[in-house]
Amino acid sequence: MGSRRPAPIAELPLGYSEVEHLALLTPGRALLVNLLALIPLGIALVLMALWWAATLSLRGPRPGPDVPWWLGLLAVLALMLPLHELCHGLAIRWAGHRPRYGVLLRKGAFYATADGALFRRDVFICIALAPLALLTPAGMALVWLLPDSIGYYAALAVILNAGASIGDLWMAAAARRYPPDALVRDEMDSIRIYARG
């Protein structure tokens, strides 16, 4: 994300108008989003399987304590989603805004947002992709460093994080269709994109 901090934007500048409102968790779209999540999940599964094989080949097996599968899975589920949103929050803070976290119980979604904030297109893309960019290499490092019985769950977290990133990938792709001076407002479960008109 670089060290240069962008100036925060709180009000829509003159000459901008809304060009797209993208809501991913509507009843008609939620099933499609969940099905499409299988694509990044599958890519991450292949990536982590190759990384696991390379790790075992290069450093050899690393025995460790036996971890009951249910405890490992529970730990992954309990940590992965909050860490995912924390990555968004750190990127929001980097962009000069104050993150707010929450859960949309009816939609079964966690979120990190910044009330009233507008983000330049490329800054928003960095925020959207922060969990993939931060948690994937962190998980790969843990697979290398931890005993195999625990590293397996770090690999699983990377895979599940990739699947959970489908909405982030979709929103980043939507924002990417607009010019670099476009602005994006995050609204917990949707985004609004504004462009000079």
Cα separation, 45 vs 51, in Å, equals 10
Name residue, tokens 């899975």. Answer: 73
Cα separation, 180 vs 178, in Å, equals 7
- Which letter does DSSP use for residue 99 in this model? -
Confidence at residue 4, expressed as pLDDT on a 0 to 100 scale: 67
How confident is the model over 58-85, as pLDDT tens digits? 999 999 999 999 999 999 999 999 999 9
Cα separation, 191 vs 197, in Å, equals 18
Percent of the chain with pLDDT over 90: 84
153 domain-assigned: yes
Dihedral sign, Cα of residue 172, residue 25, residue 43, residue 133: positive
Question: Domain count of the chain?
Answer: 1
4 domain-assigned: no
- Other CB atoms within a 10 A radius of the CB of residue 38 amount to 12
5 domain-assigned: no
33 domain-assigned: yes
Confidence at residue 107, expressed as pLDDT on a 0 to 100 scale: 76
53 domain-assigned: yes
Longest dimension (CA), the chain: 62
Confidence at residue 189, expressed as pLDDT on a 0 to 100 scale: 84
Helix (H, G, I), strand (E, B) or coil at 196: strand
3 domain-assigned: no
- Other CB atoms within a 10 A radius of the CB of residue 122 amount to 15
Residue 2 has pLDDT above 80, yes or no: no
Q: What are 110's two structure tokens? A: 């966690």
103 domain-assigned: yes
1 domain-assigned: no
Confidence at residue 48, expressed as pLDDT on a 0 to 100 scale: 98
- The residue segments making up the domain with residue 33 are 16-60+67-196
How confident is the model over 153-168, as pLDDT tens digits? 999 999 999 999 999 9
- Other CB atoms within a 10 A radius of the CB of residue 150 amount to 17
How confident is the model over 110-128, as pLDDT tens digits? 899 999 999 999 999 999 9
Please tell me whether the overall predicted TM-score, pTM, comes out greater than 0.85 for this model: yes
- Other CB atoms within a 10 A radius of the CB of residue 138 amount to 16
Task: Name the CA radius of gyration of the chain, rounded.
Answer: 18
Residue 106 has pLDDT above 90, yes or no: no
26's CB contacts (< 8 A; 6+ apart) are: none
